Structure 1
Amino acid sequence: MPSPFRYTTPSPPRSATGRVAGVYAQLADDFGIERAATFVVLSPAPGLMASAWALMRESLIAGEGSRTGKELAALGVSVANRCPFCVDAHTMLLHATGDHRLAETVARGDTPADEEHARVLAWGGATRTPGALELAPYPFPVAHAPAYIGTALSFHFINRVVSALLTESLLPGNAQRFRAVRSLAGRSVARTVRRRPAPGAGLELLDDPGPGPDWARGTTVGPAYAALRAAATEGEGLLDEADRILVRETLRDWDGSHPPLAWDGLPDRSRPGARLALLAALAPYRITDEDVTAWRKPIHTDHCLVHLVAYGAFAAVDRIESALPVRTAEETS
């Protein structure tokens, strides 16, 4: 069977120990897919893997609000980021929630008939654009905002990692393109998806991450987000100061658009680290074998590559998060 991993060779999950084994155990219990390639690809960097999982678990899976709504938000994010792997995954997970008609509506690219569903899907897509008008008011209760925002930011990160480091095929032969396969795959994890586990287990895999941002105050989403920020930012050590400045300045001015093919601000392969980081941030689906080969020297392990991609991916997440219009329950009471 062809490997889904483009540039890394993760260790088999059965050989995992420590924190990585803990993530696989929680994936099996709370996500229903123990060896999800989305997280296996991060396993060369255990702290990064654990924090990415914790943010997804504490927001999408254990956070407040309906799983259907949060899957729609994640789907909107994935469509906006042009991540077919994640679009297909969330379509199947919508089948798992039991709303098969909704799943097939979005699979066709149509707008959900239910106005609330349509607004949540549009909100998710709008999060890619800093300051977008569609981001306010929330299409969900303010009390559920930490979980919805955490879900959106989680998948802004995951989409970029997936597009950079995995193939586009969710299932062998793109079998998920068939309606019967989508439905069957969803039903296989339906029991897990329809159960909302208690918050907090994801944080047990982290090292004292801190409380996190104000929009997630008092929830387990906040520390998980803080942990992912810290773990992803470690990748900046793989770049020199000039390259770090280029990444920061490019993201500071980013308006959410997809870069043109003739991207004047993208360095050539003589600055391969900056090139990879910026592609991971804004157009990860355009990373090529030549881009990775130009950067990867004998000293660069899978751990290094995963961290460099994560650094670029989180640079985009950070720009998105900083521009979100945030409302708290206290402000509306």
Structure 2
Amino acid sequence: MPTPFRHTTPPAPQSATGRTAEVYAQLAEDFGIERAATFVVLSSAPELLAPTWALMRESLIAGDGSRTGKELAALGVSAANRCPFCVDAHTMLLHATGDHALAETVARGGTPADEGHARVLAWGKATRAPGAPELTPLPFPREHAPAYIGTALSFHFINRIVSALLTENLLPGNIQRFRAVRSLGGRSLSRTVRRRAVPGASLALLDDPGTGPGPQWATGTPVGPAYAALRAAATAGAGLLDEDDQALVRETLRAWDGSHPSLAWLALPDRERRPGARLALLAALAPYRITDEDVAAWRTPAHTDHCLVHLVAYGAFAAVDRIESALPLLHHADNHAHSPARTAEETS
């Protein structure tokens, strides 16, 4: 039978033990989707699976602020990254919040009628471009910044993993493209989505919560250590590249303006001469363009699925790091109070 997985064959979820089984148990409880492909695809590298789940859980699910607003932020990010799998998933999750008309407006590519919702969606889209002027004023209260920013950065990472290692079909035959299926799927998740999750429960799953409290914008919240743990796990993939290839990835990301590379991407390394750097840069900037040939050129008998997941994660987080470093964060958050537009918090 066809599977949603590309380039890797993850372990069967029913065979999971230890920390991986614990992540799956929390997924079922707090996300409402058992064995979600988005996370199963990372199970070849459990040290990446746990912090990816932790960051998403502590920001989108358990973080402060309305779930509707954070789903809109995740949708905006996913649209900007051209990740149809995640766009469809979060449209369905908007249905789960009870905002059915809003979900269908977004599904049609429309602008939400509510100005606060429209601002959050636009902010999510703008986060792809480092330092974009549309990122200020922030469309949410200062105290909700860790959850919203964590949600956005979580999906900049997840979108890239999904686009690189999964097909774009959320459901068989893309049946989620039908309104009735989206609505029914959302309703089946509504009880879980509307239940308040206890913050911090995922931190016990992390390898080393002592990686630090995380960035300043997340100080004092579980989002901080979850972000720090994912950063540590993802950047470990740099060891799969030599120093020259690592330098190329850093230099390319430093100059990146958020655009999608053209088909004539002349700076993309040659597949045969620098396959690792090519894969990492594709994962960072255009993961949907990774081909079987790109993977085959890099893989050797020593390169397992564990290695490939780590290399893709390294490239994906290189983009996250660039985006995070250029975000106007808490020192701009007070500006939202002076805007006449209502926030998503005030309208949800």
Q: TM-score range by the shorter chain?
A: over 0.9
| Structure 2: distance between partners of 1:196 and 1:2 | 36
1:238 alignment counterpart? 240
How far the C-alpha of 1:331 sits from its partner, in A, is 7.2
| Structure 2: distance between partners of 1:297 and 1:196 | 46
Aligned: 1:170 with 2:170: yes
| Structure 1: distance between partners of 2:53 and 2:256 | 27
Contact 2:137 2:332 in 1 (8 A): no
- Read off the aligned partner of 1:293 and give its amino acid letter: A
Count matched residues.
333
Q: Please show how residues 81-160 of structure 1 align to structure 2 within 5 Å.
A: 81-160=81-160
1:317 alignment counterpart? 320
Q: What's the TM-score, normalizing by structure 2? A: 0.94
2:265 alignment counterpart? 263
| Structure 1: distance between partners of 2:212 and 2:330 | 21
- Read off the aligned partner of 2:32 and give its amino acid letter: G
How far the C-alpha of 1:264 sits from its partner, in A, is 1.3
How far the C-alpha of 1:39 sits from its partner, in A, is 0.3
| Structure 1: distance between partners of 2:266 and 2:18 | 44
Contact 1:89 1:170 in 2 (8 A): yes
Q: Indicate the SS of the match to 2:268.
A: coil
2:76 alignment counterpart? 76
Q: Percent identity?
A: 82
Equivalent residue for 1:281, pick from 269, 284, 292? 284
- Read off the aligned partner of 2:155 and give its amino acid letter: F
| Structure 2: distance between partners of 1:329 and 1:159 | 27
CA spacing shift, 1:330–1:67, aligned 2, 3 Å: closer
Contact 2:141 2:333 in 1 (8 A): no
Q: Structure 2: 5+ residue runs without aligned partners?
A: 338-348
Q: What's the TM-score, normalizing by structure 1? A: 0.98
Contact 1:54 1:203 in 2 (8 A): yes
| Structure 2: distance between partners of 1:203 and 1:331 | 29
Q: Indicate the SS of the match to 1:63.
A: coil
Contact 1:94 1:186 in 2 (8 A): yes
CA RMSD of aligned residues (A): 1.3
CA spacing shift, 1:65–1:253, aligned 2, 3 Å: same
Contact 1:62 1:197 in 2 (8 A): yes
- Read off the aligned partner of 1:232 and give its amino acid letter: A
1:214 alignment counterpart? 216
Aligned: 1:51 with 2:51: yes
Q: Please show how residues 177-192 of structure 1 align to structure 2 within 5 Å.
A: 177-192=177-192
Contact 2:142 2:334 in 1 (8 A): no
1:229 alignment counterpart? 231
CA spacing shift, 1:216–1:328, aligned 2, 3 Å: farther
Contact 1:215 1:328 in 2 (8 A): no
CA spacing shift, 1:330–1:8, aligned 2, 3 Å: closer
| Structure 2: distance between partners of 1:181 and 1:89 | 12
Contact 2:138 2:333 in 1 (8 A): no
CA spacing shift, 1:330–1:127, aligned 2, 3 Å: closer
Q: Indicate the SS of the match to 1:189.
A: helix
Which portions of structure 1, spanning 4 or more consecutive aligned residues, are displaced by more than 6 angstroms?
329-333
CA deviations over 1:26-67 (Å, ceiling 9, x no partner): 000000012100000000111100000000000000000000
Q: Indicate the SS of the match to 2:181.
A: helix
How far the C-alpha of 1:210 sits from its partner, in A, is 1.3
